[in-house]
Chains A and B, each alone.
Chain A
């Protein structure tokens, strides 16, 4: 069974750094693109970027390039999304999702990030 388990919710202050995680199991972690998707309160899904853990090839949406860093640790089948300096506008639910070779997407449960002074 494919599972993506994300780290718990976070409450941070503007300017702080943050790294959230997404642990995959039940599939070949190294050979499937895994991505991050933002959902701001009451809004739709926004693609942030994807990573191919096998060779760490990473692609970013132009909207998020330079704003976040996506990485993966193959040894523990975990992908990460990190910020160096959070803003209030980063408040959202962040989902990870894995795209299998048959274009079936499996989703994590989401991580709520709240940025407030």
Chain B
């Protein structure tokens, strides 16, 4: 079964840049699109990035997504960190047509 692995937590200071990784367990992560979701405490998830690197409507261009085939990983990069970016972030891809979620990464902006 295909799995996605994320770091449990990351932290960075306001104004800095942080990158959250999402590593595929097998096959090529580039074979299926990767999406990224943001979940603030007490709220439902929302789409941040879709189709590897497309920003969802209204998402600031401080957010970007990429794929690195050499490490079989996807990444979400947030630049110019703001305290409002503090949230849980989940990557998502597919095993056939079934949805696969990463375990989530808690981003702390301190």
Q: Which residues of A contact B (CB under 8 A)?
A: 33, 35, 37, 44-47, 50, 59, 61-62, 95, 97, 99, 102-110
Contact = CB atoms under 8 A, between A and B. Distances in A.
B44 A44 contact: no
Given A50-B98, A50-B99, A103 B44 contact: no
Interface of B: 1, 33, 35, 37, 39, 44-47, 50-51, 54, 56, 88, 90, 92, 97-104
B95 to A, nearest CB: 9
27 contacts: A35-B99, A37-B99, A37-B101, A44-B103, A45-B37, A45-B39, A45-B90, A47-B98, A47-B101, A50-B98, A50-B99, A59-B97, A62-B1, A95-B44, A102-B51, A102-B54, A103-B35, A103-B50, A103-B51, A104-B50, A105-B35, A105-B37, A105-B47, A105-B92, A107-B37, A107-B44, A108-B44
A44 B98 CA distance: 17
Contacts of B97: 33, 50, 59
B109 to A, nearest CB: 20
A109 B99 CA distance: 19
A99 B33 CA distance: 12
Contacts, number: 57
Given A95-B45, A107-B37, 6 more contacts: A37-B101, A50-B98, A103-B35, A105-B92, A108-B44, A109-B44
